[in-house]
Amino acid sequence: MSSKEKPHLNLVIIGHVDHGKSTMTGHLLYLCGGISEREMAKYEKEAESIGRGSFKFAWVLDKLKEERERGVTIDLAFYKFETNKYYFTIIDAPGHRDFVKNMITGTSQADAAILVVSAGTGEFEAGISATGQTREHALLAKTLGVDQFLVAVNKMDLADYKQERYEEIKNEMGRELKRFGFNLDKVEFVPCSGMDGDNLKDKSTKMPWYKGPTILEALDQFEVPKKPIDKPLRLPVQDVYTITGIGTVPVGRVETGILKPNDEVIFQPTGKKAKVMSIEMHHEQIPKAEPGDNIGFSCKGLSKKDVRRGDVVGHATKPPTVAAEFTAQVQVIRHPSAIAAGYTPVIHAGTAQVAVRFAELVKKMSKGQTEDKPAFLKNGDGAVVKMIPTRDMVIEKYSEFPELGRFAVRDMGQTVAVGIVKDVVPK
Ligand code: GTP
Ligand code: MG
């Protein structure tokens, strides 16, 4: 079967800094025929020339000069590879805390994730600690709707391929994932070495105690998510271009519903209406766009100033909801002190970034206890919060439009909380 016929899945690789995401991704591409022997030899030579031989697989993806010199991923890298069953777009995300914003963007586009955790002494512990990114990434993935998940217990070579270390990590990680709402029956924990290639494609002979699937076998157990074509159209705008001879072209990914030429659409929160002239995907005109399609479309009578990143497109008959206020279930993951009513961080929902006030702390859920109208929220607390945007924005109920009903709360360069929208009071 050629890649055109195989079902497609977007896969993001996440995890704490240096746990081996780029190395594993590069190696998977190599094993699936995405990189030739010759190219690999070239990367190896380049990496060795600056004393970073062990980074040869990471270099396939870390193309920026700064990334190679520092040995960290900064921006997202997109690659394609095929397994027996699927055609994957693989997104290698950065683990460093300074680049979580890029990680969020990558994760919001994914159907499935590999969480890479290192089995190296002290490395797993650093990742899972309060200041590490392992738990933050797992929770963000869950919040952003990535329900298919696999944990790569990586760098098993550093743990002498010992079962004890694997079980220790599986138990501790499993507890956290369960707390975040993952169904552990559906999460594989694969012991592997991204560098040496153990359990990536073929079963490793060094871990006879492990009976589960390899990474590639586990990827083939994922399912293609059902396309929500019956729901009203929602398309968060990523960008807006002006193209000579065509005009203003908003670009974005269809989350729900179907868009066709001649449709009467509305851009919220502004309320600007327009008629769709043509739709393009991968530089080709298409007769209709469905959920998952990344498209650009031209509209009659639309000027560049009528639309901007963060707007949401719907049909004029079923417009996206502009929120006067909304109630959310919020989980605090990392705040340096405490959150009180009045707190106004930026939330990321769809493609929008808007400052939103925590107007009222309605209820707190902490360690099995609930408290009405708490004075503060701290790390680890769950809460029901009434929130008021400081400017017009589209927010939907999570139960109706998951993609526009969940958000990350960012402040001081980090993700302090994540949330799910329970109810919206329209403007
Ligand atoms: P960021 O993108 O910056 O978060 O890092 P990353 O997770 O992509 O890690 P990367 O692949 O850049 O690898 C980090 C370091 O770990 C490099 O020195 C790699 O050679 C090493 N490494 C990666 N995988 C393995 C492995 O399976 N075993 C061992 N021993 N080292 C590994
Ligand atoms: Mg990397």
Whether ligand 1 lies within 6 angstroms of the CB of 21 is answered as yes
Distance separating alpha carbons of residues 372 and 364, to the nearest angstrom: 6
Q: Which residues are annotated as a binding site for Mg(2+)?
A: 22
Please state the atom number of ligand 1 nearest to the C-alpha of residue 26.
Answer: 11
Within 10 A of 152 (CB to CB), how many other CB atoms are there? 29
Q: Work out the percent of the chain whose per-residue pLDDT is above 70.
A: 97
- Give the pLDDT confidence of 65-113 residue by residue, as tens digits: 777 777 777 777 777 888 889 988 888 888 787 776 677 767 767 889 9
Give the pLDDT confidence score for residue 409 in this predicted structure: 92
* CA dihedral of residues 64, 66, 72, 73 (deg, nearest 10): -30
Beta-sheet strands, E only, within 15-173: 77-82, 87-92, 112-118, 148-154
Distance separating alpha carbons of residues 287 and 324, to the nearest angstrom: 36
pLDDT surpassing 70 at residue 368: no
Instruction: Note whether 287 and 261 are within 8 A (CB).
Output: yes
Instruction: Note whether 251 and 295 are within 8 A (CB).
Output: yes
Give the pLDDT confidence score for residue 367 in this predicted structure: 66
Give the pLDDT confidence score for residue 9 in this predicted structure: 87
Give the pLDDT confidence score for residue 373 in this predicted structure: 97
Mean pLDDT, residues 273-279 taken together: 96
Number of H helices, E strands in the chain: 9, 20
Beta strands 352-366 and 346-349, pairing class: antiparallel
Give the pLDDT confidence score for residue 146 in this predicted structure: 85
Helix, strand or coil for residue 276? strand
Mean pLDDT, residues 227-252 taken together: 91
- Helix axes of 100-108 and 134-143: crossing angle, nearest 10 degrees: 30
Of the two residues 166 and 144, the one the predictor is more confident about is 166
Distance separating alpha carbons of residues 241 and 226, to the nearest angstrom: 30
Mean pLDDT rounded to a whole number for the chain: 90
Whether ligand 1 lies within 6 angstroms of the CB of 131 is answered as no
- Give the pLDDT confidence of 20-43 residue by residue, as tens digits: 999 999 999 889 877 778 888 888
Mutate to test the pocket of ligand 1, among 12, 18, 76, 117 (most ligand atoms within 8 A of CB): 18
Mean pLDDT is highest, among 240-249, 315-324, 377-386, for 315-324
Residue 95 alpha carbon to ligand 2 centre in Å: 7
**What is the sign of the dihedral through the CA atoms of 297, 301, 304 and 308?**
negative
Quote the Cα angle for 411-117-148, to 5°: 80
Quote the Cα angle for 219-59-131, to 5°: 70
pLDDT surpassing 80 at residue 319: yes
Residue 80 alpha carbon to ligand 2 centre in Å: 17
Distance separating alpha carbons of residues 231 and 255, to the nearest angstrom: 10
pLDDT surpassing 60 at residue 2: no
Whether ligand 1 lies within 6 angstroms of the CB of 199 is answered as no
- Which residue has a Cα nearest atom 10 of ligand 1? 20
Q: For residue 63, what are its two tokens?
A: 């193309």
Instruction: Note whether 285 and 278 are within 8 A (CB).
Output: yes
- Give the pLDDT confidence of 117-159 residue by residue, as tens digits: 999 999 999 999 988 889 988 988 887 778 799 999 999 999 9
